[in-house]
Chains A and B, each alone.
Chain A
């Protein structure tokens, strides 16, 4: 049955062979997963958030499990963009999939510099701009909560790169669609949502927050209804493609995001539980299309509306 349905999706000037991407921070630099899956089968993958310089990340404990989810405060530990280009990127040569770089800075200038540097890398297909990390003191979600800042940041990044720009939004706001509109007006090719939901777990023995960072970002199956609702809201207000992310652990939830209005989806925490889950979800989506007699995935985008 496989192959007679059309899973391809267009975003900016890019064609994705299928709508399944893997989320930044859950997929390393891609290389780590090549022993479990054929990376070429993915629509694409998004590498761990890159900053201009190496970041050591937060002190442990950094994670704690919650019912059907987990709370994390990694603090964007990464090797920095230069070492990524020198050490990691060459290992990703020759792949027939899209590699998306996720970038993070504390100031607009840092984001711009990162975009300039990565614009020169032919292996990078697009940039995902992280304005939504809840676990760093400066930048992060502070940008993402302010539509004016999102506008200024997106415009500034667009000036220095020809690659499609995806703005990754935080759910920790009053009106996510308003922030998405700011990204659209600034010329972003797409938005991805949601990043993790701010949360806290307290250790009753010590009577203090469990994570060293005190708060963390909630992810996993527990949060998917929040993500689906937000994608639904954003779809009503913007015309650009939406990338749905948050708690996707099977094809059913992936399809819910698509029907809410997502053109593509990202798989995050589920990669931790089963490193082959992305491939299973691609198969599951394909099976659904076959069973339902739908020729193309694009026919399902936003069907929950109206």
Chain B
């Protein structure tokens, strides 16, 4: 689909919000993502997977400039068109009988924001959220509990340090962020006996289940595709020590 860009603006250091016209096709589950072609050329060749950070009259993405592809994307202007494919992947499953805890780290906060919106506004449930960044410059949310590594805003330390006192066996964590954060959360979940759904990031070529490039190791010994069986997994399904 070629969709019109409604907004593309910087919201924090190296971080942009990209809003495109809603093609009015369907609902999008929190956790799902789109494959975005940043230009019409062969360089960069592959689409970039971006998870949905918001969905209303527009489909919203939040991305960080990490390489050539995202740099090109950051230069797109309102009114230009962009080629997007999706939505892909499963999505978070919302369980109303649990104490819902949302944890996002860095750009991994993006899909958690849409999840938070869905839980609070569509399901009318309560949840507690924890968002972690390196420094104040990178913070792009003004909701939830904020942690920064250097203490320049909110709690000083990681989201994991901040969230652990709130966990008990009735907790259900929804998490997306850097791998070390997810690994620590997995250990905490094991310790406290709580549940966790994690959204994983992986390099992918196609995003439609055929290249088999984005697989992660699971406890069954099989590899599973982040783009089709994920990106959201039950943490107990993942073979963390091999990640």
Residues of A in contact with B (beta carbons under 8 Å apart): 25-28, 32-33, 36, 48, 56-57, 59-65, 67-70, 72, 74, 77, 220-222, 249, 269, 271-275
Contacts and interface: CB of A to CB of B under 8 A. Distances in A.
B45 A62 contact: no
A263 to B, nearest CB: 26
B45 A69 contact: yes
A220 B203 contact: no
Nearest to B206: A272
A59 B217 contact: yes
Nearest to A64: B203
Nearest to A75: B212
A249 B213 contact: no
A269 B211 CA distance: 9
Interface string B14-48: 00000000000000000000000100001111110
Given A70-B45, A77-B223, A221-B45, A28 B210 contact: yes
Interface residues of B, number: 27
Given A70-B45, A70-B205, A273-B45, A63 B223 contact: no
A272 B46 contact: yes
A interface SS class? loop
A85 to B, nearest CB: 19
B210 A60 contact: no
A269 B212 CA distance: 12
Nearest to A72: B213
A272 B42 contact: no
4 nearest A-B pairs in the assembled complex, by CB-CB distance: A63-B213, A272-B206, A28-B210, A272-B205
B203 A68 contact: no
A273 B242 contact: no
30 contacts: A25-B211, A26-B211, A27-B210, A28-B209, A32-B210, A33-B210, A56-B222, A57-B212, A57-B223, A59-B242, A60-B215, A60-B223, A61-B203, A62-B212, A62-B213, A63-B213, A63-B214, A65-B44, A65-B45, A68-B45, A70-B45, A74-B211, A77-B223, A221-B42, A222-B42, A269-B45, A269-B205, A273-B37, A273-B45, A275-B206
